[in-house]
């Protein structure tokens, strides 16, 4: 019987520091985003001297460096001062007001009673912490359009009217998010906007080169490989390009090569659609995406194809579809109908 765990030590090692190619890695320096980093830092600096910060809404294409830039600023802020409490929240994972409060409480390390507390009770404890420790919260709401309601934005904006409690950074791929907010919330938050433009081809190649120099073995890649990877990404996304580089290196190692070949890029490019790497999908969302891979489906066709695979109500299935549309992975259009309810046609974006 073969030993399925043996023999790996004999394979060539191309990847020396794998974490550098993974999505959560935050480098000490970011190239091609100096102006954006300075803008974010300037918006946060007033908090350090207990002055009102400039709340900022950051938008731009997926993979344009928005989240990485903000995380780098948070990292430097923590190293520079303990007078501000940074709290990072991904709103696709924490979609409700209570879930966001939970992340703040977690960073504050506050004990909560076993009995459940109402949202206003938890928020009172958060405000009490801020007042007692004289430490405002810098709240980063990544994928802010994933919030189910804007209640928390309204509560935070109202609390800031009475005293300096929060600085706020919102991040989204959707630049129209601000327009959808309630007028009172929008005026109270006083968001300034910062747009991240797409990387150029040359910029993306240099990003890959910088990461490859740190992560991969010398002479295991060349400029031709990096350029091929960049041209294999449809939307100049640094995230997708880095994932392709990582997968190509893994594929080369699997085939006992000492360097990445063009064949490795072709193998992994045909292996899966790029949208699968952009988000963490639930099992229900993956089933919806697989159904739409075969082609566009009307509302009834999509519901019928999912009814046996997803044991949920039609309303619950519709919520999953709405989330995928908000993520920009699928799109819909209304179809002509004589009835009151307009059917829709759904397709992969």
DSSP annotation of 243 reads: H
Query: Could you give the C-alpha distances from 200 to 44, 67, 166, 193, 231, in angstroms and in order?
Result: 28, 18, 35, 22, 11
Q: Contact, 50 vs 241, CB < 8 A?
A: no
0.85 surpassed by pTM: no
- Domain-wise residue ranges, the chain: 34-196, 200-275, 281-348
**In this structure, what is the dihedral angle of CA atoms 212, 232, 322, 23, given to the nearest 10 degrees?**
0
Give the pLDDT of the chain (349 residues) as one tens digit per residue: 676 666 566 667 899 999 999 988 999 999 999 999 999 999 999 999 988 889 999 999 888 999 999 999 999 999 999 999 999 999 888 888 999 999 999 999 988 877 778 889 999 999 999 999 999 999 999 989 888 788 899 898 888 877 888 999 999 988 888 888 888 888 888 899 999 999 999 999 999 999 999 999 999 999 999 999 999 886 788 988 998 999 999 999 999 999 999 999 988 876 544 444 445 677 778 888 888 887 888 888 888 888 777 766 677 788 788 888 877 788 888 887 655 556 788 888 7
Q: Which fold has domain 34-196?
A: Rossmann fold (3.40.50)
Query: Could you give the C-alpha distances from 279 to 1, 40, 60, 65, 187, in angstroms and in order?
Result: 39, 24, 16, 15, 31
| Architecture of the domain spanning 281-348 | Orthogonal Bundle (1.10)
Q: Which fold has domain 200-275?
A: Helicase, Ruva Protein; domain 3 (1.10.8)
């Amino acid at each position: 019987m073969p030993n399925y765990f043996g023999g790996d030590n004999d394979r060539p090692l191309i990847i020396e520091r794998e974490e550098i190619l993974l999505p959560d890695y935050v480098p000490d320096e970011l190239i091609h985003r100096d102006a954006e980093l300075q803008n974010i830092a300037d918006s946060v600096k007033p908090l350090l001297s207990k002055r009102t910060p400039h709340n900022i809404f950051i938008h731009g294409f997926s993979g344009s460096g928005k989240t990485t830039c903000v995380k780098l600023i948070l990292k430097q802020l923590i190293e520079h001062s303990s007078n501000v409490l940074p709290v990072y929240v991904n709103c696709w994972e924490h979609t409700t007001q209570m879930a966001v409060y939970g992340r703040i409480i977690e960073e504050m390390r506050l004990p909560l009673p076993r009995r459940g507390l109402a949202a206003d009770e938890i928020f009172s404890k958060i405000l009490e912490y801020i007042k007692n420790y004289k430490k405002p919260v810098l709240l980063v709401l990544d994928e802010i359009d994933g919030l189910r309601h804007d209640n928390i934005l309204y509560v935070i904006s109202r609390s800031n009217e009475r005293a300096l409690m929060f600085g706020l950074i919102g991040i989204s791929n959707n630049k129209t998010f601000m327009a959808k907010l309630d007028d009172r919330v929008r005026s109270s938050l006083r968001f300034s906007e910062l747009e991240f433009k797409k990387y150029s081809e040359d910029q993306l190649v240099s990003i890959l080169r910088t990461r490859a120099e740190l992560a991969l073995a010398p002479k295991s890649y060349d400029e031709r490989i990096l350029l091929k990877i960049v041209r294999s990404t449809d939307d100049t996304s640094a995230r997708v390009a880095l994932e392709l580089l990582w997968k190509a290196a893994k594929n080369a190692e699997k085939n006992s090569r000492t360097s990445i070949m063009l064949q490795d890029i072709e193998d992994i490019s045909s292996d899966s659609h790029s949208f699968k790497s952009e988000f963490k999908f639930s099992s229900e969302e993956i089933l919806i995406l697989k159904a739409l891979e075969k082609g566009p489906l009307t509302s009834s066709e999509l519901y019928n194809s999912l009814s046996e695979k997803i044991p949920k109500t039609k309303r619950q299935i519709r919520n999953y579809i709405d989330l995928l549309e908000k993520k920009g992975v699928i799109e819909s259009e209304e179809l002509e109908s004589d009835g009151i309810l307009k059917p829709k046609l759904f397709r992969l974006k």
